[in-house]
Amino acid sequence: MFINNYIQISLYLITLLLFAKPLGVYMANVYENRPVLINRFLASIELALYRLSGVKPEQEMTWKAYAAALLWFNLLGGLAIFGLQILQSYLPLNPQQLGNVSFDSAFNTAVSFITNTNWQGYSGEVTMSYLTQMLGLTVQNFVSAATGMAVLVAMIRGFQRKNTATIGNFWVDLTRGLLYILLPLSLVFSFVLVGQGVVQTFKPYVQIPLVEQAQVSPQPEQANTQIIAVGPAASQIAIKQLGTNGGGFFNANSAHPFENPTPLSNFLELLAILLIPSALCHSFGTMINDTRQGWAILTTMTLVLVGGLLVTLHYEQAGNPLLSAGVDQAPSLTQSGGNMEGKETRFGIVNSVLWATATTAASNGSVNAMHDSFMPLSGMVPMCLIQLGEVIFGGVGSGLYGMLVFAIIAVFVAGLMIGRTPEYLGKKIEAFEIKMAAIVILIPAFFILMGTALAVLTDAGKAGIANPGAHGFSEILYAFSSAAGNNGSAFAGLSANTPFYNIVLGIIMLFGRYGIIIPVLAIAGSLAAKKSVPITVGTLPTHTPLFVLLLIATILLVGALTFVPALALGPIVEHLQLINLH
């Protein structure tokens, strides 16, 4: 059975890496405005959009103007989705006549979706109308992903250009990302998902007779029927995965059979999570005319992902030691063995673990199993992947620009060791870049730790804990890690749909997104204004296995120094308690 596990993992990774190059080249061509196959169909639409919106595509922006356009656009998107929620009972496409969303939940959800976090403190099928799901959540799935990709492209231009004050045009980068990349991929993927059985309909929820009557607690009556939630799910699921969004149409997310009905849909949705982030690594190498740099970054991401995956798989497959005396947890032809709590039997342990590590290595946040039910150390791995800065693949665009910031830190450390001014991709890394990089690294860490501290010290924060002790602390730490890292997944034991958590987590999501985007754009502007320096014998090669190891060490060292004390209070002490009880 263990051989089968590794075959499934290998098949997934090989398929993912095979798609990285062709899709990466295509996306590089899109952003560099080179001809692509679908130009003949979309070029006229693109130009029409510019004319209607008054955008001059040839007019480029400084990093400050780029940031201002991005912030205004996201602000308007947030206001629109907030308005849809608080007015949805008066709007069409609401066949279940769902009521208006509370102000604090609407604020949290609006922030969550514009920041590509997609944290959900609500149950979708009993809270959001079809119109809110489509016009609000799905639209933001597209534009938040395109925003992250645009910021990455702006940063790449910082390395490409020299002696210039501009880094591109935000409106052009946003439009091209939507029109040529996200929309075509999502359209094709939606049809595939419908073919697999994912629901896509505007009909009201379906009432069906039960085979056997069921007791309706606490009333004495017997239930004869059940209401089955349906809706336009496939179109949202496609971009939810491709855009590393993760917000589910249904509360059970990708564990729900109407979102993820078959083994093939599970594999394809899992592939979609890391598809664009992995391909963007090759786009990066193509755009700077050195594909070795892209492969070095992709190798770094893959090695850390595989390491986390193997640790998680080991502890989940080993099972719960407290059950070893009376429960058969060994894998066999009739069962997967191990810890099956919180998992779908149709997916088993390996597909649940693979999804959990992929969704937290990316800033996706969708789940097909409950991370809260993982063993302490295997539940710690998804948490750690978020806390590393969402750079192990990360969100579309955001993961790679976060990784490039770590690369800047790595060459700075190497420069200190040899007494040489650090360089990366032909640009000198000086005080301004390091200050901005420090802000990028410190902001998520600060809000994760301070938010967790606030929650455990206040009655409003402690009121949401469903499990006492170390596991309850882990639930809070995971929630704030997910918010600051713009991931969106959760340890489900925390009752977070309260004014305290909705407001505090919402504010942290804003800082976790825009508090990083602004310094990244500042780095891009600073690099674009610099001249290129020639490569000499003293230049540190940044495409070699040695640099890959240095980059991994930098990421893990920053994560260890920042979060090990907090992790020791949560999953680590819970693991030790489990051993002692056994």
CA gap 51, 97 in Å, rounded: 39
Mention every residue, 6+ apart, whose C-beta is less than 8 A from residue 548: 296, 299, 300, 303
**3-state helix, strand and coil shares in percent for the chain, rounded to the nearest 5:** 65, 5, 30
The pTM of this model reads 0.94
Q: Which of 241, 578, 554 is nearest to 392 (CA)?
A: 554
Encoded tokens for 401: 């620009």
Report CA torsion sign: 525, 530, 531, 533. Answer: negative
Report DSSP state, residue 375.
-
Other CB atoms within a 10 A radius of the CB of residue 195 amount to 12
Encoded tokens for 293: 């740099």
Owner of token pair 């789940």: 367
CA gap 47, 56 in Å, rounded: 10
User: Rounded to the nearest 5°, which phi and psi values hold at 411?
Assistant: -70, -30
List the beta strands (DSSP E) in 237-381.
none
Mention every residue, 6+ apart, whose C-beta is less than 8 A from residue 23: 275, 276, 279, 282
CA gap 359, 274 in Å, rounded: 8
* SS3 call for 430: coil
pLDDT the model gives residue 80: 96
Contact 375, 340 (CB under 8 A): no
CA gap 340, 352 in Å, rounded: 10
CA gap 234, 238 in Å, rounded: 6
Q: Which of 517, 552, 2, 572 is nearest to 300 (CA)?
A: 552
Contact 167, 524 (CB under 8 A): yes
Contact 290, 541 (CB under 8 A): no
Contact 237, 256 (CB under 8 A): no
List the beta strands (DSSP E) in 135-259.
206-215, 222-228
Encoded tokens for 403: 């990784």
Q: Which of 454, 370, 359, 442 is nearest to 406 (CA)?
A: 442
CA gap 319, 579 in Å, rounded: 12
Compute the C-alpha angle 465/466/468, nearest 5°.
80
User: Rounded to the nearest 5°, which phi and psi values hold at 427?
Assistant: -120, 135
pLDDT the model gives residue 15: 96
* SS3 call for 225: strand
Q: Which of 164, 308, 182 is nearest to 241 (CA)?
A: 182
Residue 468, Cβ density class (10 Å: 0-12 exposed, 13-18 middle, ≥19 buried): exposed
Domain ranges for the chain: 2-198+233-581
Contact 392, 301 (CB under 8 A): yes
State the DSSP H helix or E strand holding residue 428, giving kind and residue range, or none if neither.
Answer: strand 427-428
223 forms bridges with which residues in the sheet?
A: 214
State the DSSP H helix or E strand holding residue 159, giving kind and residue range, or none if neither.
Answer: helix 139-160
Contact 532, 425 (CB under 8 A): no
Walk along the chain (582 residues) in steps of 10 and give the mean pLDDT of each run: 84 95 96 88 93 94 97 96 96 94 96 95 92 94 96 96 94 96 96 96 90 67 82 95 92 93 95 96 95 96 95 91 80 80 90 95 92 93 92 92 95 85 90 95 95 95 89 94 93 90 96 96 96 84 94 90 92 90 66
Cis bond before residue 218 (omega within 30° of 0): yes
pLDDT the model gives residue 444: 94
CA gap 345, 56 in Å, rounded: 54
424 forms bridges with which residues in the sheet?
A: 427
Contact 409, 435 (CB under 8 A): no
